[in-house]
Amino acid sequence: MIIYFMCLILFCVGLYAILVKRNLIKIIIGIIITEYAVNLFFILVAYRSKGRAPILIPDQIVKNMVDPLPQALVLTAIVIGLAVTALMVAIAVRVYEKYGTFDITKIKRQKG
C-alpha cells in the first residue's frame, strides 16, 4: 500500500517541476519524471503476491507468475516517452539558437 503512495509522490514531484520551474531543461526533466511515475504505477498494478518473473524455464510448473500483459504495454509507453523526449530536446536547442536564453519568462512574444 505504501508503495502506491510513493508512486503518487513521484508524480507530484514531476508536476511541481513542470509548473514552477523557469528553465526549459528543468521543465523537460519534470515531464520525464511524470511519465516514469505513470509507467511505474502501471507495472505495480500487475504484481501478484509471492509471484515470480513470467519466464518459462524447462520442466517448471506454471503456478505463480506476475501478470505479463502490463509489462508489454509499458514497453510501448517507454518508447513513446523516448520519442517525445527527443523531440522536446531538439525544439529546446532550436529555441536557444533563436532567443539566446533558456528562461521561459523571456520567451514570451505572443500575447493574449
Residues at the contact surface with another protein, assessed by CB under 8 A? 18, 24, 27, 31, 34-35, 38, 41-42, 45, 55-56, 58, 69-70, 73, 75-77, 79-80, 83-84, 86-99, 107-110, 112
Residue whose CB is less far from another protein, 2 or 19: 19
Q: Residue 46 phi/psi, 5° resolution?
A: -85, 10
Considering the complex, what minimum distance in angstroms separates the CB of residue 79 from another protein? 6
Kindly report the number of other CB atoms within 10 A of residue 17's CB atom: 19
* The dihedral sign for the CA sequence 92, 94, 95, 100: positive
Please tell me whether residue 46 adopts helix, strand or coil conformation: coil
The grid cell for 12 is: 507530484
Considering the complex, what minimum distance in angstroms separates the CB of residue 93 from another protein? 5
Greatest Cα pair distance in the chain? 68
Considering the complex, what minimum distance in angstroms separates the CB of residue 83 from another protein? 6
CA 9 to CA 37: how far, in whole Å? 9
Residue whose CB is less far from another protein, 2 or 110: 110
Considering the complex, what minimum distance in angstroms separates the CB of residue 56 from another protein? 6
Residue whose CB is less far from another protein, 50 or 92: 92
